A = this chain, B = another copy of it.
Amino acid sequence: MLESEQVRLDARGGKLNAPTAGLAYGFVQANLVILPASDAMDFLVFCQRNPKPCPLLGVSTPGDTGIARLGENLDIATDLPRYRVWKDGELTEECPDVSHLWRDDLVSFALGCSFSFEEALLEQGLELRHITQGCNVPMYRTNVPTQAAGKFHGPLVVSMRPFKPADAIRAIQVTSRFPDVHGAPVHLGDSTLIGIHDLSKPDYGDAVALKEGEMPVFWACGVTPQSVLMASKPKFCITHAPGYMLMTDLKNAELAVL
């Protein structure tokens, strides 16, 4: 059995109730958004218009709890260790299973996640400061608007990783190969140009140290869709809980476009 499938089965059976970072090395983990069909078309268009924060790895048929591309033995309603349930933009519940909430009009969206490109950066010998510091990557709301679609709108959220300039150039090259998991950075250097005025106060995650001679490098972040959902207040929505990702049978290496 693939390691990734084992992770899903552990979550399904209640044996795994922890963040998925570091599990099933080499396999793609995904952000999850589940919406009723009435909102799904707008959200799909939103993803199409904003591929850097919302790179689509897979979309289900309405009512289906599987997405063929992502794995054979995969049940969206049970295979994540923790879910968040949202009503009118408010978080109403966190739970380890959403079978009891399932409806035949629900459409699932699996969106690429930075874990995939971080593996590629680490394999290049690049240091990821938040991993060195043992904390979450710092994330910031920017003043850069996403391209709205229907009710879905809101600012781009970015994650930040500090690098020396030569390493920043290498990181741009490496992540450019992975457009399905946010791809190349959207910004680097002066953070005020995208509306971030204090790097020590991230909106999500934890602050990390910026050392002498380093510059901040910003990638579009998979938290953008969650932020957009909170701002856009669909009647009903399910997402993964932060860090408790959808484990797929795709390999990170498969996502490289060259």
Q: Does A169 contact B (CB under 8 A)?
A: yes
Give the Cβ gap from A254 to chain B, nearest Cβ, in Å.
Answer: 18
Select from chain B the residue with minimum beta-carbon distance to A213: B193
Residues of B within 8 A of A187 (CB): 165-166, 169
Give the contacting residue for A172; candidates B173, B193, B258; CB below 8 A.
B173
Tell me whether B165 and A193 are in contact (CB under 8 A): yes
Tell me whether B169 and A190 are in contact (CB under 8 A): no
Residues of B within 8 A of A188 (CB): 165, 168-169, 188-189, 215
Tell me whether A184 and B165 are in contact (CB under 8 A): no
Tell me whether B213 and A190 are in contact (CB under 8 A): yes
Which residues A185-241 have CB closer than 8 A to chain B? 185-190, 193, 213, 215
Q: Chain A at the B interface: mostly helix, strand, loop or mixed?
A: mixed
Residues of B within 8 A of A172 (CB): 169, 172-173
Residues of B within 8 A of A193 (CB): 165, 213
Select from chain B the residue with minimum beta-carbon distance to A257: B258
Chain A residues in the interface with B (C-beta under 8 A): 165-166, 168-169, 172-173, 176, 184-190, 193, 213, 215, 258
Provide 23 A-B residue pairs closer than 8 Å at the C-beta atoms, listed in order of the A residue: A165-B187, A165-B188, A165-B189, A165-B190, A165-B193, A166-B186, A166-B187, A168-B188, A168-B189, A169-B185, A169-B186, A169-B187, A169-B188, A172-B172, A172-B173, A173-B173, A173-B176, A173-B184, A188-B189, A188-B215, A189-B189, A190-B215, A193-B213
Besides A165-B188, A169-B184, A190-B215, 20 new A-B residue pairs in contact (Cβ under 8 A), listed by A number:
A165-B187, A165-B189, A165-B193, A166-B187, A168-B188, A169-B172, A169-B185, A169-B186, A169-B188, A172-B172, A172-B173, A173-B184, A176-B176, A188-B188, A188-B189, A188-B215, A189-B215, A190-B213, A193-B213, A258-B258
